[in-house]
Amino acid sequence: MTFQVNKDDGLYYRQTLFDRAKRVVVKAGSAVLTDCHGLKMEVIDNLARELTFLRSTGREVILVSSGAVAAGRRRLGPDRKSGGGLKVKQALAAMGQGLLMQAYEQAFGEYGQKVAQVLLTHADLSSRDRYLNVRNTILTLFEFGVIPIINENDTVSVEELRFGDNDTLGALIANMIGADMYIILTDVDGLYTASPGDDPDARPVYTVARINREVEAMAGHSHSALGTGGMQSKIRAAKMVAACGGSSFIGPGNRKDILKDLFSGNMVGTFFLPSSDKIRSRKHWIAYVLRPQGYFVLDGGACRAIVQGGKSLLPSGILEVSGSFGVGAPVQCRDTAGRIIAAGLTNYAAEDIARIKGRNSREIKKILGFSDSEEVIHRDNLVLLNNEHEIDEIPVSTGEGG
């Protein structure tokens, strides 16, 4: 299947999936919500009106929102130079988060809709117990008829606790709660085959059946004025959601009635179809939420056994071990070209795997003095990231959070 669906078929797929979508996550970035003067209240009001409309149709809705840092910077005033750096961003977020929620409370209140604030760090999702607690909180808010408004907790986040950007955060939340659809509102119209400003033959891409390298390369053609997540992070987020069976949309958040237009079947923005190979919730947590503490380089036989045979990873197929980690740690599996093929939870510590790599499983006890498992990673704890080696690492960076 090619990556792009023709317009008529795309319209059918879109309308079918929009009609079926009962649980929706909407992400609004700083490029949509803010300008040089601070929060754009008309956009916030439009979001409140449209999300309340979605709720009125019986759907469960989450809003993932940036904007706290911009709100804090405006409150600080133009006469005070705020500079840059993490500590400044944290302080601005502390000032702005209350203002952001006050704006949402007021806007949603005009339409009789209750909202709740949920602030998260990556540590809240990397712990399985906390991950499930967050999920249960969100599901309970749904039962109350409340719209959760989620943001990264920039005030306390340090680099190792960050999601990287709110595109990723929104995708993780969508997959956590089993959302049918993830809508990313930004300041560009969608994905194009080339840069519209440079190439007169550039065409909008309305429907993407499968995110491959060609689609990822197109992300460089779309540039956001204020958001720092970028189109590439949005494509990665759509790919994460597709892996769990959800669809995604990227389109213009400043357009009035954008959500009504979408759910009415108008061809606007770019729509991404779900993958036909859906992974389970726990495997999603292993593959996308946990951050790898090391990696293995595998020989060709081990790669084929994992990708084509659905087998566990045995020590005999491991060529190299990188990283310092203990039992149960998340690790990646790579081929000899450095391409990531899988992620999983290891049954042995790094130093022990370094001693048994390349050896038969029957030799483990003789070498280590114990044998907890024949497999280094059991297939139940092993997740294929892409059987055509087209997955990239999700970078840890200072993103669009706040």
Handedness of CA 183, 184, 186, 192 (dihedral sign): negative
If one counts the domains in the chain, the total is 2
Of the residues 283, 305, 325, which one is the last residue of a structural domain?
Answer: 283
CATH number at residue 108: 3.40.1160.10
- For residue range 140-199, list pLDDT tens digits in order: 999 999 999 999 887 776 554 455 678 989 999 999 999 999 999 988 888 888 777 777
246 and 315: one domain?
Answer: no
User: How many other C-beta atoms are found inside a 10 Å radius of the C-beta of residue 286?
Assistant: 19
> Are 145 and 109 contained in the same domain?
yes
Q: Is residue 40 part of a domain?
A: yes
Could you tell me the end-to-end alpha-carbon distance of the chain, in angstroms, rounded to an integer? 38
pLDDT of residue 164: 63
The answer on 84 and 209 residing in a single domain is yes
pTM: 0.79
Spatial CB neighbours of 274, under 8 Å, sequence gap ≥ 6: 17, 241, 242, 245, 246, 247
In 3D, which of 330, 315, 321 has the Cα closest to residue 381? 330
Q: pLDDT tens across 257-295, in order?
A: 888 888 887 788 899 998 877 777 788 888 888 889 999
Asked if 16 and 82 sit in the same domain, the reply is yes
Dihedral, CA of residue 223, residue 159, residue 345 and residue 320, to nearest 10: 80
- Tell me, yes or no, whether 279 and 296 share the same domain: no
Residue 316 lies in domain: 292-384
Query: Same domain, yes or no, for 122 and 256?
Result: yes
Look at residues 246, 262, 283 and tell me which one is the last residue of a structural domain.
Answer: 283
Residue 390 in any domain: the answer is no
Query: Considering the domain boundaries, does residue 193 fall inside one?
Result: yes
CB distance 52 to 111 below 8 Å: yes
Do 226 and 94 share a structural domain? yes
Q: Are residues 54 and 122 in the same domain?
A: yes
Residue 301's CATH number: 2.30.130.10
- Residue 388: the pLDDT is 45
Residues 349 and 255 in one domain: no
Residue 354's alpha-carbon distances to 208, 209, 243, 381, in angstroms, are 42, 41, 32, 20
Residues 278 and 296 in one domain: no
279 and 344 share one domain? no
Q: How confident is the model at residue 83 (pLDDT cuts 50, 70, 90)?
A: low
Q: Where are the alpha helices (DSSP H) in 247-299?
A: 258-263, 281-284
Q: How far apart are CA 389 and CA 19, in angstroms?
A: 33
pLDDT in tens, 52-82: 999 999 999 999 998 888 888 877 776 565 5
Of residues 49 and 401, which shows the higher confidence score?
Answer: 49
One domain for residues 222 and 321: no
